[in-house]
Amino acid sequence: MRLSLVSLALSATASALQVSFSTPSTRPAGLIFETFSWWNKPPIPKFNTHFFEDAIKLGWQKAHDGAVEQFELAKRLAEENKINFNITPLVEKAKMLIDATRELREQIFLLHPDEEVAAMLDGVDLDGFSEEFGKLLEDVQRSLEAQFPHPDGAPSHEERSGRVRAALSQAKESFVRLSVAHGIEEEKARESFGKIEPLVHDLVVLAGDLAEQHPKLLEAILIGGIMLIIPENLLLRPIFGLLGWGPYGPVKGSFAAWAQRFFFGAEVEEGSWFAALQRWTMNEVPWYKWVYGWARDTLKAIFG
């Protein structure tokens, strides 16, 4: 069985190479996809725990372009379905959130009560802080899920607002406890989180209200929105994961499906996040590197 699968992978790769060399085109990646038309498309993992890491590799400009692409898709869907849709307020709110989060990040160790210690430190280990924060928020998500195990139907504007406020209130307490553990004054930590809290609330509620008008809009809005926060993802990723805005929950390995149903009333297919990221990545990577990567990953999946 393994031998036949290996032969299949090598044969498909060879076919892709042959077509790409024999047929002139400005989009060789597209030709590769056509080669696999009998298989519909190359295998896409349903759950990618490296989404943010891979998105960062695209660069901020490419991430921003990806967000614009998704919002344009949402706009077209709205026009086709005769929905009054205006993405501008959401984008503006996201930019305000990025600015506020950047300010929080830059000041987070300047808040250290001991000036000598602060002067000696280069800053918080944001990777470690983000991971710890995510684990704390996973406990918050479990608590919410225990209270509402089976979200039924899309919440109203008021219900969505209340749910987001309740979740953010618990997230703030988790952030404050963690900050204090890192030597930051409680009052300053609470004040810092308080600056981004209303922006996150408004952004999530606004996105939910827009998506509620048509289920197809949810995927485009959430994927586009998550690309906008890439520059400050270490602090925002756990919060957005708690609120169902992302491919997984507060920590890697936890799914966001329940949170998406709870806050938005619908869920994005797991593979959609990675499919969009893969599309943007392929636009940047030479076709032959993509073929090599695909063959390598396929063989790795076969042999483990």
Is residue 33 scored above 60 in pLDDT?
A: no
65 or 115, which is more confident: 65
Measured in whole angstroms, the distance separating CA 199 from the mean position of its chain's CA atoms is 17
Q: What is d(CA 4, CA 25) in angstroms, rounded to the nearest whole number?
A: 31
Is residue 97 scored above 90 in pLDDT?
A: yes
For 30, 47, 264, 266, the CA distances from 261, given in Å and listed in that order, are 34, 18, 5, 5
Cβ neighbour number for residue 76 with a 10 Å cutoff: 12
Q: Which residues pair with 102 in a beta bridge?
A: none
Q: Which string of DSSP letters, residue by residue, matches 190-208? A: HHHHHHHHHHHHHHHHHHH
Measured in whole angstroms, the distance separating CA 171 from the mean position of its chain's CA atoms is 18
pLDDT in tens, 103-157: 888 777 555 555 555 445 555 677 888 899 999 999 999 999 888 888 777 888 9
Contact yes or no for 236/203 (Cβ under 8 A) = no
pLDDT in tens, 215-245: 778 889 999 999 988 888 889 999 999 999 9
Is residue 3 scored above 50 in pLDDT?
A: no
Produce one character per residue of 169-193: b if its CB has 16 or more CB atoms within 10 Å, e if not.
Answer: ebbbebbbebbeebebeeebbbebb
Q: Domain limits of the chain?
A: 2-42+287-303, 61-268
User: Which whole number is the average pLDDT over 5-29?
Assistant: 40
pLDDT in tens, 168-193: 999 999 999 999 998 888 998 999 99
* CB burial of residue 246 (10 Å; 0-12, 13-18, 19+): buried
